[in-house]
Structure 1
Amino acid sequence: MTMTKNPPPTTVQQQQPFHIDKEALRAAARNLDDGAVTDGYRGNRKEVIAMLNDALATELLCVLRYKRHYYTAKGLENEPIKAEFLQHAQEEQSHADKIAERIVQLNGEPDFNPRTLSDRSHAEYDESESIKDMIKANLIAERVAIEAYRQMIERIGDNDPTTRHMLVQIMAQEEEHADDMTDLLDL
């Protein structure tokens, strides 16, 4: 009796080697009307720009809130807290700058209109007078920003990796800000 051996199961399927059609890429790249946005962009530009403009409003309002708190916090014992407020204001400004730049890259117009800033912002402005209330207001605003960015990241998914990456980076820094405010509450 002869036994026939079955060939071993194949664990690796054969794939075609990856190949980029250079001529097609070059032809598509000659369409200069869309700037940095190529034919392969899968995001809904109008929706992404609208989300980013709301995020821009939020960041600008946060700059103003942190600056107000920096300038109005009183007492020598609060100097380290004031320094934290100023640093956060500068970082929020950096976020706003990145967002505005991305809006322009997507062929949109960043909305810096001060008349509608507060209405478009996810966070609220705050005029607290006590240092504890300032810290609480900033912690709430940071938590609002974190959740807003999480929702935007989820909505964008893999359709716009550049915007997604930027938002993930900003959200990480907002989480650091929230940690900072939580630490200050415990002082």
Structure 2
Amino acid sequence: MSTKQPAKHHDPIDVKAIREGARNLDNGAVPSGYQGNREEIIEMLNAALATELVCVMRYKRHYYTATGIFNEPIKAEFLEHAQQEADHADLIAERIVQLNGEPDFNPSTLTDRSHAEYDDSSDIKSMIKANLIAERVAIESYRQMIERIGDTDPTTKHMLIGIMAVEEEHADDMKDLLEGNG
């Protein structure tokens, strides 16, 4: 005895309405069906941008100021992370523009808007610890942003998930380095 489910009926896609909505060019690259709270998402993304920029500067400072032949592999890790954080900042700035916003690169308010803190430690263990803490801050910030955005903006959500995955790798790298420098 077969219990065949009736086929679900879906409304056809309203191509005419899609085309008409796409003609409204006031909202930038995102069409009229966009469901996210554009202003709130741009504000969150600008905070994430500030966080990434502060992380670039922190990792760069640590790269240039870490000394000693035994710290060369750690310095290389700091430099790689700085470059990846810069890539994240670029992705975020591009998304802000796609949402018809303006990325905020204002250096005078950068540290106030950043979730992570800058660090000017001079010893390698303190540098690693500061970077691990900053990565953990970034991960939790991204998790909360992803939760808040939900399914209203899939593009931003997926971008943030990808960035968060790299931040988790960075945190794992710093944890491993910290344990190796205990």
TM-score bin (small chain): over 0.9
Q: Identify the range of structure 1 (35-44 vs 88-97) with the bigger mean alpha-carbon deviation.
A: 35-44
Normalised by the length of structure 1, the TM-score is 0.93
Could you tell me which residue of structure 2 aligns to residue 150 of structure 1? 143
Higher helix share: 2
Question: SS where residue 41 of structure 1 aligns?
Answer: coil
Question: SS where residue 116 of structure 1 aligns?
Answer: helix
Could you tell me which residue of structure 2 aligns to residue 35 of structure 1? 28
Alignment of 1:1-187 (within 5 A): 10=3, 12-17=5-10, 19-187=12-180
Superimposed CA distance per residue, residues 98-152 of structure 1 (whole angstroms, 9 cap, x where no aligned partner) = 0000000000000000000000000000010110000000000000000000000
Question: SS where residue 174 of structure 1 aligns?
Answer: helix
State the Cα distance separating 1:56 from its structure 2 match.
0.3
State the Cα distance separating 1:13 from its structure 2 match.
3.5
Runs of 4+ residues over 3 Å off in structure 1: 8-11
The alignment-based identity, stated in percent, is 73
- Distance in 2 of aligned mates of 1:18 and 1:85: 53
Superimposed CA distance per residue, residues 15-43 of structure 1 (whole angstroms, 9 cap, x where no aligned partner) = 22452122221111111222211111111
Q: Which has the larger radius of gyration?
A: 1
Amino acid at match of 2:33: G
- Distance in 1 of aligned mates of 2:90 and 2:141: 18
- Distance in 1 of aligned mates of 2:39 and 2:175: 36
Q: Which runs of 5+ in 1 are unaligned?
A: 1-7
Q: Which runs of 5+ in 2 are unaligned?
A: none
Question: SS where residue 24 of structure 1 aligns?
Answer: helix
Amino acid at match of 2:171: A
Question: SS where residue 108 of structure 2 aligns?
Answer: coil
Normalised by the length of structure 2, the TM-score is 0.95
Instruction: Kindly tell me the number of residue pairs found equivalent between the two proteins.
Output: 180
Amino acid at match of 2:16: E
